[in-house]
Amino acid sequence: MKIGIAGVGTVGVGVIKILQQHTRLLNDKADANFEIVAVSGRDRTKSRPVSLEGMTWYDNAVDLARDPDVEMVLELIGGSEGVARDLCLTAIEEGKPVVTANKALLAVHGTELARLAEEKGVALNYEAAVAGGIPIVKAMREGLAGNSISRVYGILNGTCNYILTEMEETGGDFNDILQDAQKLGYAEADPSFDIDGVDAAHKLTILASLAFGTPVDFDSVYIEGIREVSALDIAFAKEFGFKIRLLGVARRTEKGIEQRVHPCMVRSDTAIANVSGVFNAVVAEGDFVDSTVYEGRGAGEGPTASAVVADIVDIAAGRTSPTFGIPVDKMTDIPRVPVEEHVGCYYVRLTVYDRPGVIADISAVFRDEKVSIESLLQRGRAPEEAVSVVLTTHEVQEASLTRALDRIGKFEHSVDVPRMIRIAKL
């Protein structure tokens, strides 16, 4: 099996290391000999910790896909458009199987690529695109094939999880912990893709398609990052018996499918609450298997390269499945439910002047919007100074709570924009 690797950065180097160090092991598992015959990257002169000697170098990755010596293409470039998409389309058109780690590409163009792969009779594998070294794609596509999946959710971004757990353990502010994460290499120089929830949303889009047999629909994912989570919220969460985690949640309801990424309050005694640092975790709920939990490292050279090589071995051994578990022509367009229609419990933090009648005014608005308060805390007592009023609600439709908070935010005794975090019922 002659392989071409497009993208020889961190993951590409990791793949080369595994193929070179575990040659005999992999050959035995796949009953095939693996040889890297071509590579493509941005800088031929860059120093790398592996030798590329004997491999044909392509400045244009698409030309690599057309090389008649290349029998399998690895797309490790990244990005939903441009050369990554062109490379995959070209390789599939050439009748060559593709292994990719590109969640953005699959979240946006996955259905298109899957349809073409089926037409050409080649595999499109992407275990490394979701949750790094956790074999969640194989679990969803094959291990849970006998189940109707009702919900899949999890911690899908290690950068956010590291920041939130460090805030929890140290009491530090978001910006300080983010700077520490950047120094340690856990966060990019521009961390927006991670901390604004986009990375997790790409992964959730893929999981939702696998879970429910629907075309990928990234545009319908509600996305909210962690920039607004404060040390104060972390502390209050602890008082209520919660921890805060950025979760991606895809759920089948009577109205359709919810797809949302946002900070959640989760009970401190749940498995997901105790996933810390840069680790990822995914929970899948099926009608026969009940709840299954998968945890491991979600990024980095080793875990991601391990997942890529697992796909290579499967293809070489002839173990293939439809890209998203079922053929594209059997996928069902199920309506997506907007987040405003979500029904759940909520944590709310209000910053108001400590004046007589404030709590009565807040309660009146909640009464008007049919929001029922479960518990309430007020910290500090300083007339005419700002204090925090923190509460949790019983189940309510999000649109009703949003209307209530909009009204409360306009009160003359409101000091800051009301903060709301959804409470996850796990």
Are residue 353 and residue 391 in the same domain, yes or no?
A: yes
CA 159 to chain CA centroid, Å, is: 11
Q: What is the mean pLDDT of residues 362-389?
A: 87
Q: Rounded to whole angstroms, how far apart are CA atoms 93 and 87? A: 10
Are residue 150 and residue 116 in the same domain, yes or no?
A: no
- Which string of DSSP letters, residue by residue, matches 354-385? B-TTHHHHHHHHHHHTTPPEEEEEEE---BTS
To the nearest 10°, report the CA torsion of 348, 164, 284, 206: 100
Specify the pLDDT at position 60. Answer: 94
Are residue 195 and residue 278 in the same domain, yes or no?
A: yes
Q: How many CB atoms are closer than 10 A to CB 110?
A: 27
pLDDT tens profile 212-266: 999 999 999 999 999 999 999 999 999 999 999 999 999 999 999 999 999 999 9
Q: Residue 239: exposed, middle, or buried by beta-carbon count in 10 A (0-12, 13-18, 19+)?
A: exposed
Extended beta strands in 181-318, E state: 222-223, 242-252, 257-267, 279-286, 290-297
Nearest-CA neighbor of 321 among 150, 165, 124? 124
Whether the predicted pLDDT of 382 surpasses 70? no
Q: Residue 92: exposed, middle, or buried by beta-carbon count in 10 A (0-12, 13-18, 19+)?
A: buried
Could you give phi then psi for residue 400, rounded to 5 degrees? Answer: -65, -45
Q: Specify if 312 maps to a domain.
A: no
Could you give phi then psi for residue 70, rounded to 5 degrees? Answer: -80, 125
Q: At what angle do helices 158-170 and 231-239 cross, to 10 degrees?
A: 70
Q: At what angle do helices 398-409 and 358-368 cross, to 10 degrees?
A: 150
Specify the pLDDT at position 47. Answer: 85
Element (H, E) at 425: none
Tell me, what amino acid is at 403?
A: R
Are residue 375 and residue 353 in the same domain, yes or no?
A: yes
Whether the predicted pLDDT of 268 surpasses 90? yes
**The domain boundary residue, chosen from 307, 339, 371:** 339
Specify the pLDDT at position 129. Answer: 96
Q: What is the mean pLDDT of residues 101-110?
A: 97
Are residue 154 and residue 123 in the same domain, yes or no?
A: no
Q: Specify if 177 maps to a domain.
A: yes
Q: Rounded to whole angstroms, how far apart are CA atoms 364 and 378? A: 17
Q: Specify if 304 maps to a domain.
A: no
Q: Tokens for 100?
A: 């990719």
Are residue 145 and residue 265 in the same domain, yes or no?
A: yes
**The domain boundary residue, chosen from 308, 339, 370:** 339
Beta-bridge mates of residue 393: 373
Residue 251 and residue 151 in contact, taking contact as beta carbons nearer than 8 Å:
yes
Specify the pLDDT at position 299. Answer: 84
Rg of the chain (C-alpha set): 24
Could you give phi then psi for residue 330, rounded to 5 degrees? Answer: -105, 0
- Report pTM: 0.94
Average pLDDT, the chain: 94
Tell me, what amino acid is at 420?
A: M
CATH number for the domain that contains residue 381: 3.30.70.260
Total domain count, the chain: 3
Specify the pLDDT at position 75. Answer: 97
pLDDT tens profile 288-304: 999 999 999 988 899 99
Q: Specify if 169 maps to a domain.
A: yes
Are residue 274 and residue 156 in the same domain, yes or no?
A: yes
Whether the predicted pLDDT of 368 surpasses 90? yes
Q: Rounded to whole angstroms, how far apart are CA atoms 339 and 314? A: 38
Q: Specify if 43 maps to a domain.
A: yes
Q: Tokens for 405?
A: 């908070």
Q: Where are the alpha helices (DSSP H) in 121-230?
A: 136-138, 158-170, 174-184, 192-195, 198-212
Are residue 44 and residue 154 in the same domain, yes or no?
A: no
- Express as a percent the part of the chain with pLDDT over 90: 86
Q: Specify if 176 maps to a domain.
A: yes
Specify the pLDDT at position 378. Answer: 82
Nearest-CA neighbor of 213 among 141, 302, 268, 105? 141
Are residue 175 and residue 231 in the same domain, yes or no?
A: yes
pLDDT tens profile 140-179: 999 999 999 999 999 999 999 999 999 999 999 999 999 9
- Express as a percent the part of the chain with pLDDT over 70: 99
Its domain, for residue 53, covers 2-129
CATH number for the domain that contains residue 58: 3.40.50.720
Are residue 109 and residue 145 in the same domain, yes or no?
A: no
To the nearest 10°, report the CA torsion of 306, 124, 52, 36: 100
Residue 321 and residue 241 in contact, taking contact as beta carbons nearer than 8 Å:
no
**Active-site amino acid positions:** 203
Q: Specify if 346 maps to a domain.
A: yes
Q: Tokens for 288?
A: 């026969």
Q: Tokens for 335?
A: 């309506």
Least confident of 84-88, 107-111, 125-129, 373-377: 373-377
CATH number for the domain that contains residue 184: 3.30.360.10
Specify the pLDDT at position 385. Answer: 81
Element (H, E) at 5: strand 2-6
Could you give phi then psi for residue 339, rounded to 5 degrees? Answer: -65, -25
**The domain boundary residue, chosen from 310, 339, 368:** 339
Residue listed under structure tokens 């005419």? 384
Return the biggest CA–CA distance within the chain: 80
Q: At what angle do helices 301-316 and 10-21 cross, to 10 degrees?
A: 60
pLDDT tens profile 108-121: 999 999 999 999 99
Q: Specify if 315 maps to a domain.
A: no
Helix (H, G, I), strand (E, B) or coil at 241: coil
Tell me, what amino acid is at 361?
A: D
Are residue 252 and residue 146 in the same domain, yes or no?
A: yes
Tell me, what amino acid is at 67?
A: D
Specify the pLDDT at position 381. Answer: 67
Q: What is the mean pLDDT of residues 295-321?
A: 93
Q: What is the mean pLDDT of residues 24-48?
A: 91
Which has the higher per-residue pLDDT, 269 or 385?
A: 269
Specify the pLDDT at position 383. Answer: 67
Q: Residue 412: exposed, middle, or buried by beta-carbon count in 10 A (0-12, 13-18, 19+)?
A: exposed
Are residue 13 and residue 162 in the same domain, yes or no?
A: no
Least confident of 15-24, 377-386, 405-414: 377-386
